[in-house]
Amino acid sequence: MRNMRGKLYSVGIGPGDPELMTLKAVRLLKECDVVALPQGDNGVLTAKNIVNQVVNLDEKPQLVVYMPMTKDMAAMDKAHREGADAIEKLLDEGKNVVFITLGCPTVYATCIYVHKLVLQDGYDAELVAGVTSICAVAAKLNVSLCERAEPLIVLPGSYKESAKFLDGPGNKVLMKSASEIGRVVDELRQRDLIKHSGMVERCGLPGEKVYRDLEKVDPNSSYFSVILVKEKEFDK
C-alpha cells in the first residue's frame, strides 16, 4: 500500500539530445503519476519536447510550473513558492511527481529552488542526476573538460565578475553566456584566449551551432550557450 504522501523526483533529462536521457529518467517518467513541466516566459516547453521523443508525456497528467526568466528576486521567490505549493498538493493526494529539468538538477537548475522548498516543507524528494550541458559541449567540441591535475571552474557567463576567474589557473566553463556574449568574447580577446576557447549554442537541440572560432559568434546567441576555455590551445 502506498504511503499517504507521494514523492517528488527532480529529474535531469540531459542537455537536449534525447539519446542522452538516462535509463533511470525514462523509468521514472513511465512510472510516475504526474509530470511537472517547467515553462519560461516564452511559453515554450523545451524539456517536454525533448522527453516526448522517448516517452509520450501527453499520456500522463501534467502540471505546468512557471519559471520566470528574471533577476527580480521577489518575482522568482513567488513563482517558486507557487510551484512548490502546486506540487505539494499532488503529493498530499499520494501522487508521485517527476519534475523534469534540462541538464542535471544539481548544476544551475531552476528546479532546485522548488525542490528545496518541498524538502523544507517536510516532503520526500529526490534529485536524479542527468548529463550536463558542460559534458555534452566538451564532447561536441571533441575535447576533455580537464585532464591530470587541471582544475575546472564553472560559472555563469552572465556573472559580471567572471573576468577575474579568467585570470586564474585551470579550465573554465561559462554557462548561459548569451546575455553577455559580447563582453565575454572581449575579455577572452584581451587575454589572448580566443584560440583556447570554443562554444556550442543549443547543444543537442534544434538550431545547434558549434563555434570553434569565437570571433564568429553571433552576438544574439541563444540563452543555451556554453563556452569552454582551456589553459592550452585545442585543435579547432
- As a whole number of angstroms, the distance between CA 190 and CA 113 comes to 36
**Residues 35, 97: one domain?**
yes
**Residues 21, 118: one domain?**
yes
C-alpha cell at 143: 575535447
**Residues 111, 178: one domain?**
no
pTM of the predicted protein model: 0.89
235 lies in a domain? Answer: no
Tell me the C-alpha to C-alpha distance, in Å, between residue 80 and each of 70, 73, 171: 12, 10, 33
**Residues 115, 139: one domain?**
no
DSSP 20: G
The string of pLDDT tens digits covering residues 45-67 is 889 999 999 999 999 999 999 98
Q: pLDDT-based confidence at 43, cuts 50/70/90?
A: low
Q: pLDDT-based confidence at 1, cuts 50/70/90?
A: very low
Higher per-residue pLDDT: 222 or 130: 130
The string of pLDDT tens digits covering residues 216-235 is 888 878 778 899 999 877 66
CATH number for the domain harbouring residue 60? 3.40.1010.10
**Residues 94, 114: one domain?**
yes
Higher per-residue pLDDT: 219 or 205: 205
Higher per-residue pLDDT: 145 or 223: 145
**Residues 58, 160: one domain?**
no
Q: Which domain holds residue 63?
A: 8-128
Q: Domain tally for the chain?
A: 2
Instruction: Tell which of 94, 113, 128 closes a domain.
Output: 128
1 lies in a domain? Answer: no
**Residues 172, 222: one domain?**
yes
Q: What share of the chain in percent tops pLDDT 90?
A: 60
- As a whole number of angstroms, the distance between CA 31 and CA 58 comes to 14
Average pLDDT over residues 57-79: 90
Residue 78, pLDDT > 80, answer yes
Q: What is residue 12's predicted lDDT score, i.e. its pLDDT? A: 97
Instruction: Tell which of 128, 160, 176 closes a domain.
Output: 128
**Residues 157, 193: one domain?**
yes
65 lies in a domain? Answer: yes
**Residues 118, 137: one domain?**
no
Residues paired with residue 175 on neighbouring β-strands, in sequence order? 156, 226
Q: Which residues contact 182 (CB under 8 A, 6 or more apart)?
A: 219
- As a whole number of angstroms, the distance between CA 200 and CA 138 comes to 9
- As a whole number of angstroms, the distance between CA 206 and CA 215 comes to 23
89 lies in a domain? Answer: yes
Average pLDDT over residues 173-195: 85
Residue 205, pLDDT > 60, answer yes
Higher per-residue pLDDT: 91 or 148: 91
Residue 236, pLDDT > 60, answer no
